Amino acid sequence: MTDKKLRATITGVGMYVPDKVLDNKYFESIVETNDEWITSRTGIKERRVLENGATSDLAARAVDDLLKSKNMSAEEIDLIIVSTITPDMFFPSTACVVQRKVGAKNAWGFDLSAACSGFVFGLETAASFIESGKYKKVVLVGADKMSAITDYTDRNTCILFGDAASAVLLEPTEDLSYGLQDSVLYCDGTGEDALHMLGGGSRNPATHETVDEKMHYIYQDGRAVFKVAVVGMADAAVEILERNNLKREDISFLAPHQANMRIINATRDRLGLQNDQVMVNIHKYGNTTAATIPLVVTEYYRAGKVKKGDKLVFAAFGGGYTWGAQYIVWSID
Ligand code: UT7
């Protein structure tokens, strides 16, 4: 890894989760399932859904929360990146909609599509803009309204997903010991068969037939994804530790993508971490795709658990397949 003159560091966080809660009991009333199965197989107890509005509403509220907590004007933002697989529409980008909604008059922006790895892919992207020296305030939002693409008659997937958004502000630091230190990122397009939404794009534009065949919903072969996710997320996390000579006791927290508690625990065990070194909120929100990592980091930071100088490892795995891990040194007091 070559040293750079600037590093990108997270200097602010924000989040938004909708009020409406769907608990496991609710799913017992709509599909053939039960709380015991959902809890033991996934760790999920509740998830949130946005009843009115789109992904940009989740994202704009998370950005507003970030700006409020920083006492910062939206006009200071240079660039907005929205990681999402549930954009408001194909175009304009959700980043443009968010730019308007928050009043970020001086920002440009774009969307990034990397499913559950959207935040880690976005962080590497946002950091590059900062490290170039050209941009000083980059807002990265992980936002997904998963309820918009969830088939609530499919028990294999409907119990897993929820809606949320979380945003981070990235700024340059000349103290290279803080901020994003390293990333390992991967994709493997052979994962398409096991996890996809086939309808609505240029391959299968919307027709009566695509609607009848439920092609506008998420399809997941859970067992197939589980097998590769367990290996991929842990391998990437081990790689980032080894590349940076980090021992398990050096790690303050692993912030893993929240898809399944069993995948999180397997990653914890591969790294040899204790339970209290692993950030978890899957029981409250389920899998919120691009939002999971910033959301759990925001909650732990706001609970006073993350301190300046803490060494964090982010790890994600998702559709594509896409996956990766990052090493970050926290710089907010
Ligand atoms: O975030 C993006 C990446 N995605 C992931 O990382 C998700 C990875 N996969 C998973 O988390 C898990 O595979 C699931 C939670 C989706 C499923 O857990 P599993 O232990 O792999 O279950 P399974 O798919 O092997 O299904 C076991 C059984 C099946 O019944 P049979 O075929 O054994 O009779 C399913 O039909 O459980 C059944 N099942 C359910 N039963 C009750 C599937 N969904 C449900 C349900 N309630 N909701």
Please choose, from the candidates 200, 221, 75, 80, the residue with its C-alpha nearest in 3D space to the C-alpha of residue 149: 200
Q: Which residues are catalytic?
A: 116, 257, 287
Please choose, from the candidates 177, 176, 174, 165, the residue with its C-alpha nearest in 3D space to the C-alpha of residue 139: 165
pLDDT confidence of residue 139: 99
pLDDT confidence of residue 1: 47
How confident is the model over 298-318, as pLDDT tens digits? 999 999 999 999 999 999 999
CA distance 133 to 89: 32
Q: Which residue's CA is minimally distant from atom 11 of ligand 1?
A: 260
How confident is the model over 151-185, as pLDDT tens digits? 999 999 999 999 999 999 999 999 999 999 999 99
Residues of the chain scoring pLDDT < 50: 1-2
pLDDT confidence of residue 283: 98
Q: Are 247 and 273 in contact (CB under 8 A)?
A: no
Token pair in block for residue 15: 């989040």
3-state SS track over 315-326: EEEECCCEEEEE
**For tokens 């602010």, what's the residue?**
12
* 159 CA distance to ligand 1 middle (Å): 10
* Protein residues with CB under 6 Å of any ligand 1 atom: 33, 37-38, 41-42, 116, 155-156, 159, 222-223, 225-226, 229, 259-260, 263, 287, 317-318
Mutation choice for ligand 1 from 223, 263, 264, 321, CB with most ligand atoms inside 8 A: 223
Predicted TM-score of the model (pTM): 0.97
pLDDT confidence of residue 4: 56
* 156 CA distance to ligand 1 middle (Å): 6
pLDDT confidence of residue 145: 99
* 39 CA distance to ligand 1 middle (Å): 12
* 302 CA distance to ligand 1 middle (Å): 33
